Every structure is written in C-alpha cells, then in structure tokens.
A and B are shown apart, each in its own frame.
Chain A
Amino acid sequence: MKYLTILAALISPMAALADPPPADWDAVLAEAKGETVYWNAWGGSTTTNDFLAWVGERVSEDYGVTLEHVKLTDTADAVTRVLSEKQAGQNDDSAIDMIWINGANFAAMKDADLLFGPYAEQLPNWALVDVEGKTVQTDFTVPVEGYESPWAMAQVVFVQDTADMPERLGSMQALQEWAQANPGRFSYPQPPDFLGTTFLKQVLVDILPDPSVLEAPATDENYDEVTAPLWAYLDALTPNLWREGKAYPATGTAMFPLIADDEVDLSISFSPGAASTAIANFELPETVRTFVLDKGTIGNASFVAIPYNSGSKAGAMVVANFLMSPEAQARAQDPAILGYGTVLNMDALSAEERAVFDGLDLGVATLTPAELGTVQAEPHPSWAVRIADDWVSRYGVAQ
C-alpha cells in the first residue's frame, strides 16, 4: 500500500497552494485531526441522512474529524454558495468543506475553478476502486481528473407494483404500449429534476438505433434530428401519463408515495436498492419489484468534491477516503441501510472484506449485479441541458 502512495506522489503535479498534499497521507491525517467538515448533501432522504450520520460517528472515532451534514434541497445551492464566497473574496474558510455532487453541478464548479484538487486518485482507498468496470473517471462524459472522488454507483431501475402490473417491460416501446393500455398509471419527476431528465435520456438512449452519437456534445446541426424520436415518443406518451401530464411529481422520492397511494403502478428510481429499503421502512407495498430494460439502463457514480476555499481540506479528504473504504461501502450497499451500489472492485478486496459484501441480503425488490445487466453511459451533459430546456418549453408550460 505504501509504495502506491509514494508512486502517486511522484506522478501528481505539485500543489501550488499551501493545501495539505493529498499524497502525503500521514500529514493529511495529522492535519485532519480536530477539523470540522461541513458536508453539503441533499437531505431529502432519511435513509441517506442516517447513513451520513453514521459516517460522522466513524470518522470521529477513527480520525478525530467532526462531520456535520448540511442538508440541501438542491445541490446547486452549494454551488451558489461557493460562488458568492468567491465573489466576496472569502478564499480560505468556506461554509462548505465537501459537496455530494455529480453531473452538471460538477462540470460548472470545475469549469469555474471552484474545486480543490486533484486529490481523488491519491487517496489510499483509490486502489480498491473499480476503475475499469464503473464510470468513476468520467462524470457525464466530463473527465473527473481527480477533482472529485466516487462513493456510490447509481443505475436506473423501473419500480413496478406487481399487484397491479404483473409483467416487467423490456423496452421503452413496451412502456409506451403499456401506458396506452393503462392510462394515468405512470409518471416521472418533472424535468429539469435530475431523475426526470434521466428518464428523458433513458428514452432517447433506448429508442435510438445507435446512441453513440450522444457521447459527443450536442451541436446545433445534429440536435433536432437526434432528439426528434424522443419528442414523438413523449407526444404520444403524455396524454397517458398520471394527471394527463398536467402535473408532475417534484422529485424522484416523491414517486414512492404515489405508488403507496396506488396513484401510479410504475415509476423509475436511480438507486437499485431504494425500493427494497422503502419496503422495509413501510414506504412501499410488499408487492413492489424492480426491473431494467433488455438493452440495459443508464448508470453513473455519485461523487464528493471539495471547494477550493474549504478550511478543512485534510478532514474532507479523510472523509472522502473513508467513504471508499470496504466498511463504508458494504454498509451503503446494505438495503436495510441505504442500498447504494458499491464503487469498489471485488477482486481488489481481501477475502474477509469480500465476505461482508457477499453476505448482504439485497432485499426482495433488488436485482443482483448480474440481473442489473449492462450499464449504459450517461450522454454528454450538453444533451441533458438542451433536452430539459426543450421539455420545459414543450410540456412544462402546458395549460
């Protein structure tokens, strides 16, 4: 393990600032002791909140780092905050030390030089991360370059109430036909909500004969042509949506109460284990199961990033490293706790560590890694932005 750290130190460019050098892990640990890390993370899910509280207890025990979870309704609030601080010249003690981030928020912060790094690939536990099999070095096609470290994998799954809808659906075309036969029983969160936009991307990826065009940025020339099938699909789907598409659930988690209320039979989720967790917490009926499409579904990683002006960078790195530890990853994967996918490479773990993962009861509604099938890459963020904007003008202002 030690030579890896030294190797990383040799490769990494020298940090220009007087920030803790990520490669000198002992120095990081020493500096981290006694620091308080304000982790800004979405606070809308009680299970996630509980997990973050547990992480706080553990890093306090092992490393003397105090972790405070600042609960956000929207990650962009944190981006705004760091921007305001930069505007005000607050360059050394941000209110934010760590952000749960990915996708467009990451791209915006990295672009505006609001992030500390690179640090992720110098963390000791990086050696355990599954760099080959999981999309941890690109974030929605944007190169990560060590400016954020991964801690969970997410993949689109469809959540169905088998009491009303016994069969799974194999494709978006099948969903269209099912919605025609069962009007008003499906909805998706209102774009530009993250999960709602993901649904639109999932439609596009599934109905395009060759979705590889989505890997490059959208251009004015190809955008209309590529997305035309999506709008045709949605024009046909919308009248058959819940409330005929005149109202949409605000967020992804707002979908589960709709299933429990029997208002809809089908929904989507970005967390393969969330349905099992919700059943255990009485938030979903026991008849709920999940499925993925025949061609697979979109997946991506959740990251944490450190603002350039954090006053507790060492503490934040310690937390980021702990999040990638087998202990934290196994707990996150436990559906009774959180049910998030791991970012670790099982082959890099010791037999003992692996046994913990193998021993997890994934829950009645959770697909095994094999059943989850192929993970489709996220399209370039430029597609999501334009599609979400277009959606708003086409369906978001319908009377």
Chain B
Amino acid sequence: MKARRFLPLLPMITLLAMIGPVLAGLYGAVLPAFGHLPAAGLFGPSLAPFEALFAWQGLPRAMFLPVWIGLASTTISLLIVALIMAGWSGTRSFTVLERMLSPLLSVPHAAAAFGFAFLISPSGWISRALSPSVTGWDRPPDLLIVQDPWGLSMIAGLVIKEVPFLMLIALAAIGQVDTKRSAMIVQALGYRRLTGWLKTVFPLVYAQIKFPIYVVLVYAMSVVDVAVILGPNTPSTLSVQIVKLMSDPDLGMRLQAAAGALVQLFLVIGALGFWLIMERVVRRFGLAWIGTGQRGKYDTITWQIGLVLALFCAFSVSFGIASLAIWSFAGYWGFPDFLPDQFILKNWMRHSDGTLEALGETVLIGSVATLTALALTIGCLEAEYRYKLRVTSRGMLLLYLPLLVPQTAFLPGLQTLMLNVGLGVGRGPVIFAHLVFVLPYVFLSLADPFRAWDARMGTIAAALRASPDRVLWSVRLPMLLRPILTAAAVGLAVSVGQYLPTLLIGGGRIETLTTEAVALASGGDRRAIGVYGLMQTAAALVPFSLALLIPAIVWRNRRGLRHG
C-alpha cells in the first residue's frame, strides 16, 4: 500500500530535485544580468551589463565559436557512429571496435583533451616520432595547430570523446530495435549492408538516441575545460569568457558574466532549434533517398572511411592516455626525444597521498549520487508505466534544463541559495549538486530502453499471477540489466567529471580527482596531470568495464539478452 501511494509522487520529486536548483540558480543569474547585485553595492534594474558585454570586440567571435564547434563536432560524431554501426554492426571487427571504443568513454574530457593536445602539437608525440628523421626538425616548427582560431583541434578533441559516448548509447538502444531481421530483409532485397542499415535501422536508432545527441550538442557548446586546453583563446569561446569574467576581482564583472550566461543560454536554445529543423530537412532527403531504391554503390569505400575515422578516435584517445601515463613516470623529456631520458617514480610518490584521498572522495560522491539517481529514475519510469503517466514533451524539456543551462549560469546562484537555507558547504550539498547533473544523464540513458521494453513480457508474467512489483523486480529489471548498468556507468562518469559544481558548492573543501586535475592543468605540469588524469580515467573506467562484463556473464546462457 505504502509503495502505491509513494510511487506516483516520485516523478514530481525527481523533477523537483533536478529543476529546483536550476531555477533557483537561474533566478540568481537573471538579477545580476540586469544590474542587481546588492552584495557589491549595485542595484538594478539596468541594461548596463549587456551594454558592457556587447561592447567587447571579441563577442561576435566568442558567440560564433560555440555554435560552429557544437554543430560541427556533434554532426561529425553522429556521422562516424552511424557509419560504424551501419557498416560493421554484427561483424567480428565490430566487436573488436566496440571493445576498443567503450573504455574510452570513461576517459574524462580534460584528460583526453590534454593527451590529444600533446599528440598533435608541433612539439607533440607525432612530431617527435617523425623528428628529426623524417621532418628534419631539430626544433618544433612554429605552427598554430592547438588553439587554432577556427577551433578545429577543439572539434577533433570533442569528436574523439563523443564518438565513444554516442556509440555506447546507441549500443544500449539498439537492443530495443529489431535490427537483425531488418538487416536480413534488406539484404535479401539486395541492399548492401551499409545502405540497408542506414535506410531501415538508423531512423529507429536515431529516435532512441536523439536526446543524448542534444546533450552532446549542448555540452560541446558550453564546455570549459576542453575549450581552455584545445580551443582558440584570442578570443576564446563565450563560456570560457564567462568563467573569466566570474573570476575577475572586480565584482562588477559578475554582472557582465551573468549577462553572458543569458546570451549563452539563448545560443544553446538557438542551436538546438536549428538542429531540430535540420532533423526535418534530413528526414525529407532521407525519405527521398530511400525512395530511390539505390542498393548502395559506394558502400565499400564509405564504410572503410567510417572505420578509419573510428580508428582515429580510438587511437587518438588511447595514445593520448598512453602519453599521460608516460608523463607520469617521466624524468626530463625534451624535444625531439620520443621517450623521456629516464623513468622515475618520484611523480607518483609525490602525489600518492593526494590521489588516494581524492579517489575515495570521488568514488563516494559518485556512487551515492548515481544510486540515488538510478532509484529515482527507475521509480519514475515504473510509475509512468503503471499509472500511464506519459511524460509530455514539456516534461522532457524540464528534464533537459540542467543540461541546457550552462553550469556557469546557475551554480553561483545555487551556492547562495544553499547557504541561505543553512545547507552550508560540504559533501552532502556536493552530492546533491552532482545529482542535478547525474539524474538527467541516467534518466536519458535509461528512459528509452526502459520504455521500449516489450510489455508483452509483463502481460505474460501478470497472467502467471505475478504482482506488478514482482514483474518489475523479477522480469523487467533483469531483462534491462545492460541498459541499467550502462546508465549507472554514465552516471558515475558524469559525476567523476564534474568540476564547477564540486568547486563552487563544495566551497573548495571537497577535493575530487577532477578538481585536483583541473587545478594542476592550469599550471601545465604534465607529470602531475599524468598522475591525476590516469587516476581519474581509472575511476570512470572500472564501472564501464563492469557495465559490459556483468551482462555478458549473467546472461552467458541467454543469447537474446546479451546484444552483441
């Protein structure tokens, strides 16, 4: 009885946990954007903050960059994922590729970006491998590769990280789509593998993964750490500029930062709107293309391109991480040496205490936030299923709010709110703040597979006199083991990667691997970054390996539940 009364309330509680802090934080951003910041002795309303922001000559470029980088990196990532899945799913090479790409998802963005920067810079690893034997360089050429004005290296750095993310989400979703028979039918009709897949399976998969794609778009537009490492800096992207303004000792600059945060919000909304329009355009062309009945003339070359691009992603992240590993043991390592002069343990010994403490903190915060998010999500979805509480599109938008609103816009306001209600700072509020970000990701990863579950299984179980609870615990959840574990791994990875919420809400007192690594990244000490980056990667890698391993072991005798 108790559960029945509690369950319908869960969606409300979940929404409140996610959007309450965002709305409160936004309220705290809107006021300063219009010149109201009593603590600094400033009283609004006025448009001066916007005027000051628009007076900055870098603004047009800083607004253009996130839109361009976000759309380009998301489109390229999606294309690569579609090509790999289309050309290779179900093959032996695909299994290998999946095993190579999946662990990369766990690599935190900052660590991957740092490793990638070291690979491609003029004095980087690739250049060292070829110098001076091939290139003839005894000192690195003065080339602007990293931090190029068009953000190309940043786009590449985002793509190599987003491809594994979308791959894993698509893999989780594909279990809910009957791909095998579609593939069989179109191949029987004479379609080549890639074309057949794109024409029949892709639309189904896309419908299931479109939310994660929006997330990728929004993330790419507002990311700070990757933009600092790989993005242009004359000027930088708008979100980097917002963070710079926020940290200006002149407190009046926070007004401009708040105004910038609102501009960033509109950019994100505009780009999402553009993406939705493009979905329709692509659909029109796609339908026309399906109508032509072409069987796939260029399949071979296209899927080979897909493979090359996927391998590029896999190798970039892997070698980037390998370079971090080597840096963490490096003695002096100058250009053009391919390896350090000597390997030392000093770097690790120096950081062992700090990393272990930070690791404990990271794991604790991540697991509590993820378990809470998982419980709320499953509760919501089950309530929705049992009471037919169909989540409206407006409801979905609310779910998106924490991911749509740039963190820099609402976190300082949230911090003030928490102090006001006496929550103070510390681990509890940080877990709560992480939940705001973890919950949507967990929900988005799990919702589609959960809803796409074949309800006839439930009907059969009910016909065998199983109660709704028993259906959930004994049939539905076990069948959804893989998506649930994937969602948990995503949740943990999100929590591990959180920088701003940990710093701001924790009052700087909560030290996770990420806050430590980003603090070190500003100093450019590659040895320390190597140590922390590796630990950070490991903290997220283990859950992902488990998400792949456990279903394979548990369902070793249930072929239909393994999905690849």
- A: which residues have CB within 8 A of B? 38, 40, 43-46, 49-50, 68, 70-74, 76-81, 83-90, 95-96, 104-105, 107-108, 112, 164, 183-184, 190, 192, 242-251, 253-257, 260-263, 281-283, 285-286, 385, 392-393, 395-399
Contact = CB atoms under 8 A, between A and B. Distances in A.
B526 A257 contact: yes
B407 interface: no
Nearest to B524: A254
A255 B248 CA distance: 22
B458 interface: no
A40 B40 contact: no
Interface stretch (B227-235, B277-285, B295-303): B227-235
Interface stretch (B9-17, B137-145, B266-274, B397-405): B137-145
Contacts of A105: 249
B368 interface: no
A76 B247 contact: yes
Contact of A78 (B148, B508, B527): B508
A395 B234 contact: yes
Contacts of A43: 516, 519-520, 523
B251 A112 contact: yes
A73 B229 CA distance: 14
A246 B516 CA distance: 29
12 contacts: A40-B508, A80-B246, A80-B412, A84-B416, A95-B508, A104-B249, A243-B142, A247-B146, A250-B524, A251-B523, A282-B331, A393-B58
Contacts of A83: 39-40, 251
B142 A72 contact: no
B335 interface: yes
B557 interface: no
Contacts of A256: 524
B558 interface: no
Interface majority SS (helix, strand, loop, mixed), chain B: loop
A65 B402 CA distance: 40
A393 B509 contact: no
B519 A253 contact: no
Contacts of B509: 38, 68, 70, 95
B344 A246 contact: no
Contacts of B333: 260, 282
A398 B234 contact: yes
Closest 5 interchain pairs by CB?
A44-B523, A95-B507, A254-B524, A397-B58, A184-B142
Contacts, number: 194
Given A95-B425, A262-B123, A262-B139, A283 B525 contact: yes
A329 B105 CA distance: 46
B323 interface: no
B147 interface: yes
Interface string B317-340: 000000000000011111110001
B519 A44 contact: yes
A83 B38 CA distance: 10
Contacts of A107: 249
A251 B140 contact: no
Contacts of B516: 43, 71
B254 interface: yes
Given A108-B249, A247-B234, A398-B234, A253 B523 contact: yes
B522 interface: yes
B176 interface: no
B373 to A, nearest CB: 26
Interface string B115-152: 00000011100000000000000011011101111000
A86 B41 CA distance: 12
Given A70-B509, A96-B508, A399-B149, A77 B524 contact: no
Contacts of B336: 262
A50 B351 CA distance: 9
Given A88-B416, A112-B251, A282-B332, A248 B508 contact: no
Given A80-B412, A95-B507, 15 more contacts: A44-B524, A71-B515, A73-B522, A80-B247, A81-B507, A95-B509, A247-B234, A253-B524, A256-B524, A257-B525, A261-B140, A263-B140, A263-B142, A282-B340, A282-B344
Interface residues of B, number: 69
Interface string B420-443: 100001000000000000000000
B237 to A, nearest CB: 13
B162 interface: no
Contacts of B412: 80, 84
A2 B45 CA distance: 56
B132 to A, nearest CB: 12
B61 interface: yes
Contacts of A283: 332, 525, 527
Given A86-B39, A96-B507, A262-B123, A71 B234 contact: no
Contacts of A190: 233-234
Contact of A247 (B144, B334, B425): B144
A247 B147 contact: yes
A107 B248 CA distance: 12
A57 to B, nearest CB: 12
Contacts of B334: 260-262, 285
A236 B354 CA distance: 46
A393 B523 contact: no
Contacts of B451: none
A192 B249 CA distance: 11
Given A112-B251, A282-B333, A396 B58 contact: yes
Contacts of B392: none
B160 interface: no
B519 to A, nearest CB: 4
Q: Which of B38, B344, B507 has the most CB of A within 10 A?
A: B507
Contact of B519 (A71, A184, A262): A71
Given A250-B233, A282-B344, A46 B520 contact: yes
Nearest to A77: B247
Contacts of A88: 416, 419-420
A250 B234 contact: no
A147 B508 CA distance: 23
Interface in B330-363: 330-336, 340-341, 344, 346, 350-351, 354
B135 to A, nearest CB: 14
A256 B334 CA distance: 11
B157 to A, nearest CB: 15
Contacts of A80: 246-247, 254, 412
